[in-house]
Structure 1
Amino acid sequence: MLVEVGVRADIRRSKQTPDGRSKYLAIVKSGQGWTGAVAYIHRARVDFRLQHEDVADQGPRVERKRVDDPAGEFHVALRRQTLQDVDTAVELTRRATAKVG
């Protein structure tokens, strides 16, 4: 499914963990490096590189994050709880991928 959407999974490195691995999985636009991240998958949440207006048509399951840095890029999250959330996550990944240069 990742190839179909035009992304790949990437385990990032961290200086804050004993094993050097981050606590999340980055979804990166194919052909892009660090700046090509479109989503970060945590245990129960996915953060998307989208603004609030990018998800105006989405229901309350899609969280519009309150952010201290309005210039930041990851303003939308989805808490994964149901199978329908997987479909929503794929759609939001497509949207975020389209926005990355």
Structure 2
Amino acid sequence: MPKGEKQEVRVLTASFKPGDKTVFHTHRFPVTVYVLEGAFTLEMEGMAPVKVSQGQAMMEPPHVRMTGYNRSNSDSLRVVVFYVSDPDTPFLDPLH
């Protein structure tokens, strides 16, 4: 967690069509994902994939290379993301 005098809290929503995925990335601080609709699959480098369904939440660890998916061929995915960071910290750092 951030250790500075001030922290910034961001609450974001994201929608994924069937088959959509995020860019390959890392986060500088932990991210909490709550699934509103559908199922979210997170693939983290060196770890087994994690699937989170509607009504469930998960924590994405910082500094781990990852990508998130909507593995469904027919259902949409909607999530709420909570991110506590130092002020002006990017939400994610894309990897190439």
Structure 1 length normalisation: TM-score? 0.29
Greater RCO, 1 or 2 (C-alpha within 8 Å, sep 6+): 2
Please state which structure has a larger fraction of its residues in helix: 1
Please state which structure has a larger fraction of its residues in strand: 2
